[in-house]
Structure 1
Amino acid sequence: MAWLRFICVLFALIDVSVRVTATCDARRGKTTCVTEDLLEMLMKIKSTRARDWDKQIRPAFFSTLSKNFALSDSNKVLIFEGVKVNRGGGYDPLSGIFTAKRDGLYHFSCVIYGDSGKDVGYQLNKNDLLYVRGHSNNGPYDASNISVLVELKKGDSVYIKHRHSGQTETVIGSDHASFAGYFLQD
């Protein structure tokens, strides 16, 4: 596959060289003109390849909660620091926030397991606004999950946060709780 690309680029360079030589002869020295035009063409190819590469990256992440996490106020972001997958680098394990690197439709899911079977109220936010609520059950081994589709623009953020004020609720770690998301389509 790489040799095919090389041949295509080589033919493109030859084609440009032949077309440019005729117009360059009248302007200035043939060697300088062809060299400058070839350099300009290579820069355009590099720029186009970088844009195409950005379009090919399909952001995806999966992160778990390694340790128990106490949520003490309604503004606390739940930080899933146990990153297992972070394709495209959109998820920040220091802040717990996913930032979209490209426009499109995304799927997000979250699993929460309350400590000692206690309730935990949480929500998925898009750009600091409530998108969907979640609530863990209070059974001894019950977990709660949410699964959503979200339309995002480049730079939009998505994260999980506590939604009960005045209460401290603890989420079980040890990789029981998780947060994941991935790009579906433009």
Structure 2
Amino acid sequence: MFIMLSLPLLLLVLTGHIGIVRSSCTSKLEKSLFDDLIGMMLKLKGTGHGVELRQNEIPAFTAYRNSVQTLSPTTIVKFDKLWMNNLNAYDVTTGVFTAPMPGLYHFAAVVMSESAKILFLNLWHNDTQMAGSYTNGDGHKTGTIDVVLSVKKGDRIYIKCRNNTTQKIYSNSDNYSTFSGYLIAK
């Protein structure tokens, strides 16, 4: 266990040994040393497979809409703009995330209804409906979906219209409707 005596006081568990480190470094150098120490700890801990993924090797995406989308029954929602798309696994033209590697993934969606209209959507894993979001009432309503799934390479994850009627997802330049996913563990 190492204890760094500087502001803030940090307690780090590494190998079971105790040591005290006093620092008179600049904050920029302290951050660099701290980042290096965290990196070494992660390498020592490992991933259980002897493989360390770099940030740009981790499947992750955040897509959004900044305009209304009209959905006929069973239409896939197309979050057609991207903030990030590591490994290009999310396709803005289809609205589908295709897993580039197996693992445990977290997916979340936030969707806004047209004012005073019903919006009924589901998250699908391949051809299986997994979770839903239903909004109804006066004004715009926000529905959410939040799941963790075990995914195989090539599996498809998407949001699809559920109801038997035409519906609309509302969004504008404030980007009210989003869809994200990322690998948690291999």
Question: Is TM (by shorter chain) over 0.5?
Answer: yes
Structural mapping, 1:30-179, within 5 Å: 56=54, 57-73=57-73, 75-165=74-164, 167-174=165-172, 175-179=175-179
Greater percentage in helix: 1
1:117 is displaced (CA, Å) by 3.1
1:118 is displaced (CA, Å) by 1.3
1:138 is displaced (CA, Å) by 2.2
Q: Which secondary structure does the structure 2 equivalent of 1:102 belong to?
A: coil
What CA deviation, in whole Å up to 9, does each residue of 1:35-93 have, x standing for no partner? xxxxxxxxxxxxxxxxx79x5411100011121011121x2000000111101111000
What CA deviation, in whole Å up to 9, does each residue of 1:110-130 have, x standing for no partner? 111111131101000000210
Take 2:116 and 2:104, find their aligned partners in 1: how far apart are those partners? 34
Q: 4+ residue runs of structure 1 moved beyond 4 angstroms?
A: none
Q: Which secondary structure does the structure 1 equivalent of 2:115 belong to?
A: helix
Q: Does the aligned pair in 2 maintain the 1:125–1:160 contact within 8 Å?
A: yes
TM-score (structure 1 length as normaliser)? 0.67
Count of residues in Structure 1 that have an aligned counterpart in Structure 2: 132
Q: Which runs of 5+ in 2 are unaligned?
A: 1-50
Q: Which runs of 5+ in 1 are unaligned?
A: 1-51
Take 2:119 and 2:70, find their aligned partners in 1: how far apart are those partners? 10
Q: Does the aligned pair in 1 maintain the 2:105–2:183 contact within 8 Å?
A: yes
The residue number in structure 1 matching 2:27 is none
Take 2:103 and 2:115, find their aligned partners in 1: how far apart are those partners? 39
Take 1:117 and 1:182, find their aligned partners in 2: how far apart are those partners? 33
Q: Does the aligned pair in 2 maintain the 1:114–1:138 contact within 8 Å?
A: no
Identity of paired residues, percent? 30
Q: Which secondary structure does the structure 2 equivalent of 1:67 belong to?
A: coil
